């Protein structure tokens, strides 16, 4: 039987993936990556609850699969947390999942596979690998190719996504069939998996502190002050402290720029950086379907090379945010992506 390393979190998706792989004749080796959580009361990162690890252990025991625990806490703080804080400090809004998948999660899964002399790696992501291409999942509402756009192209031939051809509803049905009853009332996981006891603003306040700055309109008129630009995001309307309706248009260092006209939030041209190609060349085809947010419906657009790599959308989109990810599709194939500059 072909050995395969499977990343398991203790959740329903990775657990069902594990069972499906065994059913298909693979010999799975399960591994849980341990990452820390930030404790707002202790003001530091601590070891996570063993609840998820124990769930993963129970599933593996039920399936008679070896389960390993790989503590990569220090690496998580040094890579993912550092990236998050660095981007917020620059006035950007980072995308932790997309960054983590490339530079942390899959990196360590392949590292563990190498230690076990195993070539293949699987996870419970909703995506498909076909003919060496990363493609959208059958369940479009759960498709996760947006957050996988920075994977190394060389990894694709070694990756397996067992949930690519089934829906979330079918996953829950399978979980019941396999006797994984602990998942009946499972909450959906959040993007900021390291925050269990506080909000992102509490976290930023603890690490970046409060740094007073100006709130100005698009004509540079002073409207008020704030306690740190990192507490705001493009398109934000609530929490600005004005009786009049304003929206955050952009952030300039520690200045927050607002407008009272919602149309000012829309743009169709922007630049991207740190492009990652999952096919031979992003520029071999000029027209794409493009997403600038995970939940956004893809829109038509093109990519051109000037001094920067520029994206021009057919129709303007709301609140395109520096630091977020722009992903390019050719029909259902994820061609690649880059960070919005």
Mean pLDDT by 10-residue block, N- to C-terminus, for the chain (341 residues)?
A: 95 96 97 95 92 93 97 96 95 95 97 98 98 96 97 97 97 93 58 86 94 95 95 93 94 93 96 93 82 94 88 96 96 96 94
* DSSP alpha helix (H) spans, the chain: 12-23, 51-63, 73-76, 82-89, 96-100, 106-115, 168-178, 200-208
- CATH 2.30.30 region(s) of the chain? 210-260
Cα dihedral: 124, 126, 128, 134 (round 10): -110
Residues 281, 79: Cα–Cα separation, whole Å: 28
Which is it for the CA torsion 97, 101, 105, 108, positive or negative? negative
Largest CA distance in the chain: 69
Q: Under DSSP, is residue 149 helix (H, G, I), strand (E, B) or coil? A: coil
Looking at 2.40.30.10, 3.30.470.20, 3.40.50.1370, 1.20.120.550, the CATH number of the domain 264-340 comes to 2.40.30.10
- Which residues, 6 or more positions from 136, have their beta carbon under 8 angstroms from its beta carbon? 127, 128, 143, 145, 329, 332, 334
Q: Which two tokens stand for residue 27?
A: 């010999």
The class level of CATH for 3-183 reads alpha beta
CATH number of the domain at 210-260, out of 1.10.15, 2.30.30, 2.60.40, 1.10.10? 2.30.30
| Nearest-angstrom CA–CA distance, 94 and 236 | 16
pTM of the model: 0.94
Active site residues: 100, 193
Q: CA 130, 134, 139, 140 torsion: positive or negative?
A: negative
C-alpha distances in angstroms, 324 versus 135, 233, 273, 292, 338? 21, 11, 11, 7, 9
The segment(s) of the chain belonging to CATH 2.40.30.10 are 264-340
Q: Which residues make up the CATH 3.40.50.620 domain(s) of the chain?
A: 3-183
Question: Looking at residue 92, what is its pLDDT?
Answer: 94
């Amino acid at each position: 039987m072909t050995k395969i390393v499977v990343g398991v979190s203790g959740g329903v998706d990775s657990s069902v993936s594990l069972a499906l792989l065994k059913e298909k004749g693979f010999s799975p080796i399960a591994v849980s990556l341990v990452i820390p959580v930030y404790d707002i009361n202790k003001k530091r990162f601590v070891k996570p609850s063993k609840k998820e690890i124990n769930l993963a252990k129970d599933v593996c025991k039920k399936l008679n699969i070896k389960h390993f625990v790989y503590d990569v806490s220090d690496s998580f703080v040094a890579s993912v947390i550092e990236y998050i804080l660095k981007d917020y400090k620059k006035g950007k809004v980072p995308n932790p999942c997309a960054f983590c998948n490339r530079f942390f999660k899959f990196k360590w899964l392949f590292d563990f596979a190498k230690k076990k002399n195993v070539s293949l790696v699987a996870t419970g992501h909703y995506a498909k690998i076909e003919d060496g291409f990363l493609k959208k999942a059958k369940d479009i509402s759960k498709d996760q190719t947006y957050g996988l756009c920075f994977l190394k192209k060389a990894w694709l031939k070694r990756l397996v996504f067992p949930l690519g051809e089934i829906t979330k509803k079918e996953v829950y049905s399978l979980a019941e069939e396999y006797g994984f009853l602990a998942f009946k009332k499972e909450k959906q996981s959040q993007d900021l998996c390291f925050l269990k006891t506080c909000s992102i603003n509490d976290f930023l306040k603890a690490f970046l502190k409060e740094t007073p700055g100006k709130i100005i309109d698009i004509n540079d008129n002073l409207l008020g002050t704030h306690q740190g630009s990192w507490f705001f995001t493009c398109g934000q309307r609530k929490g600005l402290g004005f009786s009049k309706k304003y929206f955050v248009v952009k952030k300039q260092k520690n200045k927050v720029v607002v407008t009272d006209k919602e149309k000012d939030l829309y743009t169709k041209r922007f630049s991207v950086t740190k492009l990652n190609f999952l096919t031979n060349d992003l520029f071999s085809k000029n027209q794409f379907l493009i997403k600038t947010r995970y939940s956004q419906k893809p829109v038509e657009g093109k990519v051109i090379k000037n001094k920067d790599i520029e994206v021009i959308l057919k129709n303007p989109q709301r609140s395109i945010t520096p630091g977020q990810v722009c992903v390019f599709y050719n029909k259902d194939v994820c061609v690649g992506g880059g960070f919005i500059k």
